[in-house]
């Protein structure tokens, strides 16, 4: 296969197992466009920080090949799902959710 998408579609079409236990792909769920992959982010210098983590300047590579300079918040330590959810709802001037 020339791509991951092609491989997935082939497994769905042929019902070829993807696991030794016979698990087959029936209904693939595509990744939403708003998901940002680690491979698309280039973390640069630290510009600040706080109780929850550090803020870095970075580059974001878009699907169309363009690159944008962005601020990246990198969380410190472990947070529960509830803490992360609350943190993501916090709004600040200039923050894009």
Nearest C-alpha neighbor of 25 from the set 38, 8, 40, 37: 8
On whether 74 is known to bind a ligand per the annotation, the reply is yes
Handedness of CA 55, 39, 9, 24 (dihedral sign): negative
**Tally of CB atoms within 10 A around 39:** 7
Report the binding-site residues: 74
Report the binding-site residues for ATP: 74
């Amino acid at each position: 296969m020339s791509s991951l998408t092609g491989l997935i579609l082939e497994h769905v079409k042929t019902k070829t197992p993807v696991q030794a236990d016979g698990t087959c792909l029936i209904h693939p769920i595509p990744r939403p466009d708003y998901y940002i992959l680690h491979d698309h982010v280039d973390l640069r210098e630290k510009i600040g920080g706080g109780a929850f983590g550090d803020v870095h300047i970075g580059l974001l590579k878009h699907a169309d090949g363009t690159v944008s300079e962005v601020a990246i918040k990198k969380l410190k330590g472990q947070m529960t799902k509830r803490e992360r959810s609350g943190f993501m709802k916090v709004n600040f001037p200039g923050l894009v959710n």
